[in-house]
């Protein structure tokens, strides 16, 4: 007797996963694809109506089949270009102009084959031109409107040239005149929407830049370009939490520029600011990419060194001290040497950030007592 093998039930795809497969994960790309699928739904509804006419012998089936293939293939191509992200390489990621031209061709084709129903096929043309709201300029939109009217006039001429006595030319002239009034009106409305859309995008971009600037000012020291104290406190807490989870240690250094108050008093605040900027620039070039330096107070700085033990941290700060010690700054008649003292500590298990900083500050005080221009490990 054959043994029964367990069968696996395929895991159903969640609606969110299905949407992501069809529309992707990029928000702007999703908006474009939703718009495209909405247009496809309109084409599909028009096709159903025309097939109803074909069932009663009002529309020939062969040209209608060709029209349906044209729409299906065209929509598939637009979908692939947008879904793959290729359209983002162009100035018009929605491919609005191409879609308008595609739609005009579809409408005029339907006008030629729908016989007594042909007037109804012109209504989607007004909807198609509303895509002008996504066209880059009103001049292009005006050109597309003129193209649609010329195409309609040519279709009418072709229709009556091929069937001189089959249709009433007065109905087609009325259609052309009506479209000559309605289509420019639709284009004007679409151009207005396009202008409003561009203005909203511009305002949004300005707001985003303003928010970025506010964020920068809230986290960055304006004079040195380093992280400010508030931001460093946040980063220290984050590093402390990471250290607790992973068991990895980190080190802190509190750095104080030697005799900075005297420099300000003797040479002025402009020279003092220059000293601070020079130190910040030298420090950025000396510390590791993973290290973080912040201005803590007027002449004090805090250096965070993740995944580092005390011995290695001391070497890093010593290297920075030697680099800055070889740097001088012009102060009028004299040149000032750039010196600092530092206290370095390794974070201890169970220790808070404030306690670690306190130990580093005590080590800094010890460095000053010992004569400054030195690094002491606490």
Kindly tell me the burial class for residue 199, based on how many C-beta atoms sit within 10 Å of its own C-beta (0-12, 13-18, 19 or more).
exposed
Other beta carbons within 10 Å of 159 = 19
Name the token pair of 217. Answer: 């000012």
The H or E element that residue 351 is part of is none
CA angle 264, 279, 262 (to 5 degrees): 20
Contact 228, 294 (CB under 8 A): yes
Contact 53, 117 (CB under 8 A): yes
Give, as one character, the DSSP assignment of residue 133: G
Q: Where are the alpha helices (DSSP H) in 220-268?
A: 229-246, 260-267
Q: Is 69 helix (H, G, I), strand (E, B) or coil?
A: helix
The Cα 35–Cα 96 span in angstroms is: 11
360 CB contacts (<8 Å, ≥6 apart)?
Answer: 252, 253, 254, 302, 343, 344, 345, 378
- Please report where in the chains the tokens 């001429």 appear, as a residue: 157
Q: In 3D, which of 82, 92, 155, 157 has the Cα closest to residue 125?
A: 155
Catalytic residue among 299, 318, 322, 346: 299
Residue 351 falls in the annotated catalytic set: no
The Cα 127–Cα 39 span in angstroms is: 9
Q: What is the CA radius of gyration of the chain?
A: 36
Residues in the chain: 378
What phi and psi values does residue 161 have, to the nearest 5 degrees? -70, -35
Kindly tell me the burial class for residue 144, based on how many C-beta atoms sit within 10 Å of its own C-beta (0-12, 13-18, 19 or more).
buried
Q: In 3D, which of 218, 244, 213 has the Cα closest to residue 233?
A: 218
Residues belonging to the active site:
299
């Amino acid at each position: 007797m054959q043994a029964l093998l367990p069968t696996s039930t395929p895991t159903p795809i969640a609606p969110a996963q299905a949407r992501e497969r069809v529309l992707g994960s990029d928000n702007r790309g999703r908006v474009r694809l939703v718009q495209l699928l909405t247009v496809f739904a309109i084409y599909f509804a028009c096709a159903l109506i025309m097939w109803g006419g074909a069932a009663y012998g009002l529309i020939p089936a062969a040209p209608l089949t060709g029209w349906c293939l044209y729409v299906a293939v065209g929509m598939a191509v637009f979908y692939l270009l947008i879904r793959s992200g290729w359209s983002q390489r162009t100035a018009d990621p929605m491919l609005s102009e191409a879609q308008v031209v595609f739609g005009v061709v579809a409408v005029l084709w339907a006008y030629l084959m729908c016989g007594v129903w042909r007037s109804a096929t012109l209504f989607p043309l007004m909807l198609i031109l509303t895509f002008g709201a996504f066209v880059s300029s009103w001049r292009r939109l005006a050109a597309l409107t003129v193209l649609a009217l010329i195409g309609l006039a040519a279709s009418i001429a072709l229709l009556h040239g091929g069937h001189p006595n089959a249709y009433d030319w007065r109905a087609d002239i009325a259609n052309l005149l009506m479209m000559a009034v309605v289509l420019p009106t639709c284009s004007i409305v679409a151009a207005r929407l396009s202008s409003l859309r561009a203005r909203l995008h511009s305002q949004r971009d300005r707001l985003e830049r303003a928010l970025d600037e506010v964020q920068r000012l809230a986290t960055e020291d304006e004079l040195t370009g380093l992280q400010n104290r508030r931001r460093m406190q946040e980063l220290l807490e984050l590093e402390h939490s990471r250290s607790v989870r992973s068991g990895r240690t980190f080190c802190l250094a509190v750095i104080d520029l030697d005799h900075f108050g005297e420099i300000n008093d003797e040479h002025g605040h402009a020279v003092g600011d220059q000293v601070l900027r020079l130190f910040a620039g030298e420090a950025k070039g000396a510390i590791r990419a993973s290290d973080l330096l912040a201005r803590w107070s007027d002449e004090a700085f805090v250096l965070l060194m993740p995944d580092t033990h005390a011995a290695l941290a001391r070497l890093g700060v010593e290297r920075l001290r030697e680099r800055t010690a070889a740097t001088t700054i012009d102060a009028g008649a004299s040149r000032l040497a750039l010196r600092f003292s530092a206290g370095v500590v390794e974070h201890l298990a169970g220790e808070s950030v404030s306690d670690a900083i306190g130990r580093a500050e005590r080590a800094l005080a010890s460095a000053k007592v010992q004569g400054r221009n030195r690094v002491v490990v606490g």
